[in-house]
Amino acid sequence: MSGGIRLLLYFVGSALLSAVLGIPIVKMMKSLKAKQTVLGYVKQHEHKSGTPTMGGFIFLIPAVIVSLIEWTPFSLVSLALTFGFCMLGFLDDFIKIHYSRNLGLKPYQKIIGQLGLAAAAGYFAYASGYIAGRIYIPFLGDVSLGWGIIPFVILVYVATTNSVNLTDGLDGLAGYSSVAYFIGFGLLLYLLFKDALAAGDEAYARQLLSLAAVCVSTLGGLLGYLLFNGYPAKIMMGDTGSLALGATCASVAVFSKNPLLIATSGIMYVWTSISVILQVLSFKLTKKRIFLMAPFHHHLELKGMSETKIVTLYFFISMLGAALTIIFARA
């Protein structure tokens, strides 16, 4: 069976499994009283307080199960990192639920966990013969960072996981933005897989196919999850889902040697973080705010745009970013 057909089967299988799992997981989180506590200053979301959380399991379980069919070091390390960030997010969510507050792990606890997991990813990117500390720069080709790949990858993972977490602020927002992300990287990895086959490097082609399987399995899982997370959401992914999702985003980019293309496929993740940074800097330096509220999606809400329109806008821009990912990767 060809690699393309296998990837399509993984996508369909993951999507169907997540759609089926969603029903009992929503019921279970309700029965466990695993409810979201909304930040007090986000007045427009007060009605969402009490919505079940930790819905990330709806797409994570199928993604992991299906991805393991095509296992290689690339996919196994990717899934291990996804699991590690998932557990970090789970602890954060558990504390929030147990103490009925929106603040879970202390910032230093969360960053220590993120740095430790990201350092492991950095070491793998340095030690793996298929990556060997190299990244692809559009129009220039592969560039070796040597041991510098380790701090660089740490930065990529910490920035990406926290950016996805910040984007998870409206029903379906992080989900649809991530759908576009994995469409872009899924197509890119399939093209890289075909290139490796054409070059006669079957071992590397298998690594890339397994990474593509992680992409399409996560993509399918997200589509099933969005049946329950689309407006009005029946469940939220929580940090359990958003940190794990960010780790998967970082892994498929770093292990394919394309971490710089997170800026295109993940364009709305990047903008979300930039909007927060700009808001903080502006207030500290001038005591004035650039936006009505940060992240930017809350600014759009306060300007009168509906949640569904904001999600549509983010998905539209993210799909354009996914197209740019393919263009820049083949430049």
For each of the chain's 331 residues, which pLDDT tens digit applies?
899 999 999 999 999 999 999 999 999 998 887 776 655 545 566 556 678 999 999 999 999 999 999 999 999 999 999 999 999 999 999 998 877 766 778 889 999 999 999 999 999 999 999 999 999 999 999 999 999 999 999 999 999 999 999 999 999 999 999 999 999 999 999 999 999 999 999 999 999 999 999 999 999 999 999 999 999 999 999 999 999 999 999 999 999 999 999 999 999 999 999 999 999 999 999 999 999 999 999 999 999 999 999 999 999 999 999 999 999 998 7
Let me know if 303 is exposed, middle or buried by CB neighbors in 10 A (0-12, 13-18, 19+): exposed
User: In the numeric block, which tokens belong to residue 8?
Assistant: 């399509």
> Is residue 244 assigned to a domain?
yes
pLDDT of 56-74, one tens digit each? 999 999 999 999 999 999 9
User: In the numeric block, which tokens belong to residue 96?
Assistant: 């929030």
Cα gap 290→146, rounded to integer Å: 40
In this predicted structure, what is the pLDDT of residue 48? Answer: 65
Cα gap 312→308, rounded to integer Å: 6
For the beta carbon of residue 301, count every other beta carbon within 10 angstroms. Answer: 20
Instruction: Work out whether strand 134-137 and strand 141-144 pair parallel, antiparallel, or are unpaired.
Output: antiparallel
In this predicted structure, what is the pLDDT of residue 39? Answer: 56
pLDDT of 252-273, one tens digit each? 999 999 999 999 999 999 999 9
| Residues across the chain | 331
In this predicted structure, what is the pLDDT of residue 1? Answer: 82
> Is residue 119 assigned to a domain?
yes
In this predicted structure, what is the pLDDT of residue 33? Answer: 77
Residue carrying the six token digits 């200053």: 41
| One-letter amino acid for residue 142 of the chain | D
Q: Which residues contact 84 (CB under 8 A, 6 or more apart)?
A: 113, 117, 120, 247
Question: What is the tally of structural domains in the chain?
Answer: 1
Give the domain range for residue 101: 3-258
In this predicted structure, what is the pLDDT of residue 141? Answer: 93
The residue among 58, 55, 61 whose CA lies nearest residue 29 is: 55
In this predicted structure, what is the pLDDT of residue 50? Answer: 75
User: In the numeric block, which tokens belong to residue 20?
Assistant: 């089926």
> Is residue 41 assigned to a domain?
yes
> Is residue 151 assigned to a domain?
yes
In this predicted structure, what is the pLDDT of residue 96? Answer: 84
In this predicted structure, what is the pLDDT of residue 44? Answer: 61
> Is residue 282 assigned to a domain?
no
In this predicted structure, what is the pLDDT of residue 98? Answer: 79
- Helix and strand numbers (H, E) in the chain are 12, 2
Q: Please state the pTM of the whole predicted model.
A: 0.95
| One-letter amino acid for residue 98 of the chain | H
Diameter of the chain measured on Cα atoms: 61
> Is residue 193 assigned to a domain?
yes
> Is residue 315 assigned to a domain?
no
> Is residue 331 assigned to a domain?
no
